[in-house]
Structure 1
Amino acid sequence: MLDSPTTADDVPLIGAPDGDLLHVMSLNVRCAIDDTVPGSPDHWPDRAPLVAELLGRERPTLLGLQEARFGQLTAVTAVLGDGYRSVGHGRDGGAAGEHAAIVYDARRLTLLWWDQYWLSDTPRLAGSTWDHVYPRVVTWARFRDERTGRELLHVNSHLDHESADARERGARVVLDEIRSAGLPAVFTADTNAPAAASAPYDVLVTDGGLLDTWRAAAERLTPEVGTFPDYGDPVPGGERIDWILASGGTEVLGAGINTWRRAGRWPSDHTPVQALLRLPAA
């Protein structure tokens, strides 16, 4: 489990939002690797307190997690407190394998429905693929915002790291699902594809009409750096492969790429990306 965070000396990048605003975060938490040793960058027991501190300070309304194993997922929801819930199964079925889970503030958002499918020709078959190495899933959930009475959709995924064809096909599936829902939507993902320079971006943003919240933000809360520092120094102008997209008409008050570390140590090999949004009415 994650220990309770101590954050009194730190100011959140966004923190708990006011009024009708939504704080959305996407975080590839880096899966827990069994054979790591204490002190290594990947070692989950060393990273866990940092993830706890980060999330305890930021307290997003909606969090799209990628790569979380079941124990990591339950630890994240535990540290955020009783008001948070999660949906999503492991990519190998049930609790097995990495999760692309949605974590949400249940004090504000009422879950109306959720589902998960595999990016393959047999989307209901656990573990299925389009002939790429690892199964990839989409988790999506419909919520009612109790502050406004409005409904919204959150879609979360982790696109394939090797197959460009699978990434593009996955993006097309996601766009079709968002369009069919007919609701204001947010999409969070580790896309394994650079923003503004890849087929998934063209499908979803350039041609699909979704907003890249980083580019649409009224205020950029941080410098632009790559979102996969791999435990190294942030790279100015590096590739943004972790995205938060939103329906057209969404007001993006702020967006950030959070490079927070404690004593030089990262919570994950990816940076969290965050956005403060006001979704349009349905």
Structure 2
Amino acid sequence: MKIRVATFNIRNSSAPDGDNAWPVRRNATVAAIEELDADVVGLQEVLPDQLEYLRWRFSRYEIVGVGRDDGMSAGEHSVVLVRPGDWKVETHETRWLSDDPGTPGSVGWDADLTRIATLVWLRHLNGTTIGIANTHYDHAGEVAQLQSSRLIARWVGGGLPWIVMGDLNATPDSPPLKALTSAGLRNAVPVEAGGSWHDFTGAEDDDRIDHILITENWKVVDAAVSHFRPGGRLPSDHWPVVATLDLG
């Protein structure tokens, strides 16, 4: 029983990116997502106008996730796209990376911004259920990053097959990643696959801060960082990370 998953920070549309602004590159962003050929894609930094565009371009997909500011539509979303096929959304919820995960807009610890995780339970046509956690850690708060990993580790415990993915703003050897791996998760994509953050330079060897982590139930079939440039255009300031997994 295989599933192909990907995580991709698409860069928010409000950023002053000049020649790399969202209206200029949004077709390339869609093309980069399509190139991944993934059953499930976790996106980060999705603002409402971007979500509207993605719902139009991926009209046959199930797309779930709420805005981090109010638990409805305001602010960035960490949405999960599920391609039509063997997997269907059974249920989903958004939790805040804070001491009060059920309160929309709550900010955790030393975080600079409100941060969230979108949790999705998927059911296969054969009745098997798995969990997907798509998240975006704070870029500045080191305590918040570590505490976010501890929250995630608690949420994905219990034996259900889980896939944790997102922009963790932390490298593989950092305390937040070690907190996840010490809790039983493991990296699906090897470090030597290349960097994921490039700040619109196109570099392929910068920091890996976008990750896919899996519980012990999963076997990795293949995994990579995609450096695809549709029409020569950079689709974001991050590269997508993708893995094919087998539940066996």
Alignment counterpart, residue 268 of structure 1, candidates 222, 236, 240: 236
Aligned to 1:233: 202
Kindly provide the CA deviation profile for residues 56-105 of structure 1, in whole angstroms up to 9, marking residues without a partner as x: 333311111100112212322332341x1111111101111000111112
Q: Show the 5 A alignment for 1:168-183.
A: 168-180=146-158, 182-183=159-160
Alignment counterpart, residue 67 of structure 2, candidates 79, 86, 90: 90
**Residue identity in the other structure for 1:243:** H
Aligned to 2:187: 212
Aligned to 1:224: 193
Q: Show the 5 A alignment for 1:60-71.
A: 60-71=38-49
TM-score (norm 1): 0.82
Distance 2:105 2:42 in 1: 20
Aligned to 2:135: 157
1:52 Cα deviation after fit: 1.7
Change (3 A) 1:110 1:224: closer
Question: Structure 1 residue runs of 4+, over 3 Å off?
Answer: 34-37
Alignment counterpart, residue 12 of structure 2, candidates 31, 35, 47: 31
Question: Which ranges in structure 2 are unaligned for 5 or more consecutive residues?
Answer: none
Secondary structure (helix, strand or coil) at the match of 2:25 reads: helix
**Residue identity in the other structure for 1:21:** K
Aligned to 1:11: none
1:252 aligns to 2:220 (yes or no): yes
Distance 2:138 2:155 in 1: 19
Q: Is the 8 A contact 1:32 1:72 kept in 2?
A: yes
Distance 1:170 1:234 in 2: 28
Kindly provide the CA deviation profile for residues 5-41 of structure 1, in whole angstroms up to 9, marking residues without a partner as x: xxxxxxxxxxxxxxx321100000100026554xx22
TM-score (norm 2): 0.93
Kindly provide the CA deviation profile for residues 151-206 of structure 1, in whole angstroms up to 9, marking residues without a partner as x: 100001000100111000000100101004x31010111000001x111111111x
Aligned to 1:134: 113
Aligned to 1:100: 78
> Kindly, what percent of the aligned residue pairs are identical?
29
Q: Is the 8 A contact 2:82 2:88 kept in 1?
A: no
